A and B are shown apart, each in its own frame.
Chain A
Amino acid sequence: MDDILLLDTTERYFKGDLSDVEKARFEQLRKDVPEVDQMVVEHSMFLHQIDAYGYNREFKHQLHEVHKQLEEAGEISENAVTPRGKVIQFWNKYRRVTGIAASIAGVTALVISGLVTYFSPSSNQTQIVQLNRKIDQVMQNVRVQGNKLNAVIKSSKAPINEVALNGGSSFLIDGKGYLVTNAHVVAGSSTILVQNNKGQEFKAIIVHVDNEKDLAILKIDDEDYKPITALPYSIRKSSADLGEQIFTLGYPRDEIVYNEGYMSAKTGFKGDTMSCQIAVSANPGNSGGPVFNHNGEVIGILSTRETKADGVVFALNSRNVYQAIEELKKEDTSYNKLKAPSISKMKGMDRVQQVKQIEDCVFMVRSFTR
């Protein structure tokens, strides 16, 4: 019975139903008797729990009631929401954002294209102008070059009404302007032009022809020609030895061409003792060109080649040049001063240096006829 009373008092204490006197007595009792105090704390915890449980249960009940009421009122219903496509949901949610983004993108595109069209034409125009100027320049250059070409053609010493006949090579035997070439190069010509490796043209005349030896001596008869005081090479009187290294310079093209080879035989075509056989590559236009040995001595005049065999070339022995000079002097005493060089200045020289000195003395020969 005491316990029931105690519990009842405790519950009334929590509810606040006790009078001030009762409350004071009860609190005094809690202080004095530890068991009572423990019971009170335990009961307080329990009451709290059961209260919370009660409210929770009631709230759940309320929720169910509310749910039912709302369903009856039509505020909520099972069919209120039908599962929609996620894309549609997404669209509905972000429709405005998408619209704003799209308009910003549109404006940006317009601005950029506007800027592009505003700035691009000016730069294009300058480029076009520059191009024009360049083309003008090119046209100008073409005109100037055309004029120059015309001037060159006009200033060319080639006879206007004559036809080119033959082309070959020749070389100086005297710095005053005497050249040696093949007779067949200048045969039947009315005008002869010689041209050095710098492209300068000079008129020349035939002063001696020996058709038997196929040898001709020309003299440059032109005011533009400046005599060379001393020739770098000599013309050898004795014949060359077999196996000697040789080189040639000539004009198979419009440009001077160097070639090298060796002495193959002491006699020429079909045992011709006036010429010798050399192994070198030769082409039409090489005729009349000099053949040098390694000392820079002229040992022959390149004249013919065998058509059936490659690299078989015949050169007129250089001593024939002396014979021709002697005959010329006999014919006309005015050529007494003509003197072929007998000492080479190029012994032991590097081949490149030799060629550099010789090339000024080798001429292209062009013969014209009416």
Chain B
Amino acid sequence: MKAEFNEQVLLKGLAKNDAKAIETIYKNNFTMVQSFVLNNNGTYDDARDIFQEAMIVLYENAKLESFVLTCQIKTYVYSICRRLWLKRLQYLNRFTTPVESLEETVSVEEDIDFQQKRNADFAIMERALGSLGEPCKSLLEAYYLEKKDMTDIAASFGYTNADNAKNQKYKCLMRLKKLFFSQYNIGE
């Protein structure tokens, strides 16, 4: 019961980007994934990438209210890593030996597919931001991602007043939205 309770606490912490929760989950599971990847033609860096990808899946799911973890975090992470690594191996044509499956696994196919869709959306946003150019990119990031106050932004960027900064931000935002929505498709 306590272990289960701890797991729920960890998940809630993860959803809130709590550093302690992230660290605990990371510490408890990384070595397992590392040994799995290393034993299946992978490197330490592969293991890190795969594990962090799995962590993102867990994080994005933990943020959803509908998400209920039906198994241990360990099993879930292992299952995702195993699936992702298999895909990676197939993609790299390195699928020489059958992957050892000694650990218990759960079905994570849907979660991974959903995450891929989200990753695609994030990629669109990143490209749109990237192609904006400065100072629009930094201005929008400061306001929307870092949640800075308009007055502080005006000061740090060197605008004479917040209204000018707002005006600039508005123009930048229009461009960004145009770029983003030209590629973004809800249905896909």
Contacts and interface: CB of A to CB of B under 8 A. Distances in A.
B166 A76 contact: no
Contacts of B126: 53
Given A52-B118, A62-B19, A78-B44, A46 B180 contact: yes
A80 B144 contact: no
Main secondary structure of the interface of A (DSSP, over half): helix
B95 interface: no
A83 B39 contact: yes
Contact of A69 (B23, B44, B167): B23
Interface stretch (B29-37, B71-79, B85-93, B130-138): B29-37
Interface residues of A, number: 41
Contacts of B34: 76, 80-81
Nearest to B59: A59
B125 A84 contact: no
Interface stretch (B3-11, B48-56, B106-114, B153-161): B48-56
Question: Which of A56, A65, A67 gathers the greatest number of chain B CB atoms within 10 Å?
Answer: A56
A93 interface: yes
Interface in A56-73: 56-60, 62-67, 69-70
Contacts of B31: 76, 80-81
Contact of A56 (B35, B48, B122, B144): B122
Contacts of B44: 78
Contact of A81 (B22, B35, B122): B35
A7 B170 contact: yes
Nearest to B42: A83
A70 B56 contact: no
Given A58-B17, A67-B26, A70-B23, A53 B102 contact: no
B60 A56 contact: yes
Contacts of B22: 59, 62-63, 66
B100 A86 contact: yes
B144 A54 contact: yes
A75 interface: yes
B17 A66 contact: no
Given A4-B166, A81-B31, A89 B39 contact: yes
Given A60-B52, A63-B52, A66-B23, A4 B167 contact: yes
A4 B150 CA distance: 13
A70 B170 contact: no
Nearest to A65: B19
A85 B22 CA distance: 32
Contact of B26 (A3, A70, A84): A70
Leading 3 A-B pairs by shortest Cβ distance: A54-B145, A81-B35, A53-B125
Interface of B: 17, 19, 22-23, 26-27, 30-31, 34-35, 38-39, 44, 48, 52, 55-56, 59-60, 63, 100, 102, 118, 121-122, 125-126, 144-145, 166-167, 170, 173, 177, 180-181, 184, 186
